[in-house]
Amino acid sequence: MSRDGERTESAASADPRGTDGSERADADGPDASGSTLEAAFDEPAFVPYLAAGDPDFESSLEYVEALAAGGADVIELGLPFSEPIAEGPTIQQAVVRSLEAGMTPERFFEFVDALDVEVPLVCMTYYNLIYQFGPAGSEPVRPFVERAAAAGIEGLVVPDLPAEEADLLRGYCDELGLDLVFIVAPTTAGDRLHRMMERVSGYVYVQARLGVTGARDDLSDSTEGTLERLEGYDVPKAVGFGISTGEHAEAVVAAGADGVIVGSALVDIVARGHENDEPAEAVAAELESLSRELKAGAVAGAKRTPRPEGT
C-alpha cells in the first residue's frame, strides 16, 4: 500500500484529546476537499469486498490484488469479527476461514501494509474490535483509527454502529483524516436519515434490501426509493447487498447509483476455490474476470441514463 505521508504526520501531531466527537465540524456534509474515497466515484465505481486473510494470508493478498487489476475503484477489506450479525452465510464462512487461519486486527494491518495496490482501501469491521484495539488501559477507539491511518486505510464501515453511537469514532476519524461510511437501509428515512447524512463521509453505503449480505439472482426494487431519498445529499451513493453480475451493476447505476458494492459473489469464488483446492492463480483470475464484468456493467449503466451535472 502506498503510504500517504501527510496523513500519517497529521495523525502523529494530533492533540490526543482534541475531538470528543460530540459535534461534526462540517455539519453541512462531508468535507469535499480531502476525500480520496469521494474522488474514486468520479466515474461509476466498482467497490468489491473480500474478507482479509480468507482463506489464508498469502492467497488473500493475491485475491485483493486481482480485484484491483480487474478495475476496482475502492476496495472494502473485511476485518473478521467472531459475531458478524449483519452477514449472511457466505461471508460468515469467510470470517470463519480467515479467523481459523490466524487473522487478528494487528495481522490485518500487516496485511494492508503488504498489499501492492494503488486503490483506496476501506476497512469493514465490527465495533468491538475497534473498541478493544490497543494496549491494555489505553483509551478506546483512538488506537485503532491511528493504526488504520498509519496503514494508509482511507475509511471505515462499521455495520453494528448506528449514527447514534458513532460520535466518538467520527471524532477520531475527522482528527486523523479517515472517512466514516454509513449504511443506509431501505427502512432509513426522515430524521434518522438526516442524522446519518450529517455524519457520513467518503460515500454512503446504500443497502439494497432488508436482511443480511449475500448474492442474489434478482435485484431489489427498494433501491430506487432509497436513492430518491438520498437525492438531496451531495455524497456518492454506492449500492450493495445482493449484486452479483454485470447486469445487476448496470441496472443499479442506471437507477442513479454512483457505484456498486459487491461482496458475497466474490467471496463465493474464494470459497469454491478453497473447497476444490484450486491454485490461487486460478481463483485470482476468476476474481479479476468477474471484477471486469462488474466494472463494465457499472460504466454501461451510466451511459444508459445520462445523469444530471454534479451527481
Of 76, 146, 154, 286, the catalytic one is 76
Pick the closer one to other proteins by CB: 129 or 153.
129
Q: Read out DSSP for 56-83?
A: -HHHHHHHHHHHHHTT-SSEEEE---S-
Binding piece for other proteins, criterion CB under 8 A, among 27-35, 78-86, 226-234, 280-288: 78-86
Place of cell 439472482: 217
β partners of residue 144: none
How far apart are CB 68 and other proteins at their closest, in Å? 27
101 scored as a contact of other proteins (CB under 8 A): no
The DSSP code for 16 is T
Among 42, 164, 221, 228, binds other proteins (CB under 8 A): 164
Binding piece for other proteins, criterion CB under 8 A, among 3-11, 59-67, 161-169, 252-260: 161-169
Of 281, 277, 299, 272, nearest to 65 by C-alpha is 281
How many binding residues for other proteins (CB under 8 A)?
40
182 scored as a contact of other proteins (CB under 8 A): yes
Is residue 118 among the annotated active site residues? no
Of 233, 242, 235, nearest to 261 by C-alpha is 242
216 scored as a contact of other proteins (CB under 8 A): no
Angle at 199 between CA 194 and CA 202, to 5 degrees: 115
Pick the closer one to other proteins by CB: 11 or 212.
212
Helix H or strand E segment including 47:
strand 45-51
> Which three three-digit cell numbers place residue 141?
477507539
Half-sphere exposure of 230 (CA within 13 A, CB side): 34
Is residue 76 among the annotated active site residues? yes
Among 52, 72, 156, 161, binds other proteins (CB under 8 A): 161
127 scored as a contact of other proteins (CB under 8 A): yes
The Cα–Cα gap between 67 and 219 comes to: 23
Query: Which amino acid does the sequence have at 17?
Result: R
Pick the closer one to other proteins by CB: 44 or 240.
240
Catalytic residues: 76, 87
Residues that bind other proteins (CB under 8 A): 81-88, 92, 99, 104-106, 126-129, 131-133, 159-162, 164-165, 182-189, 192, 196, 207, 210-212
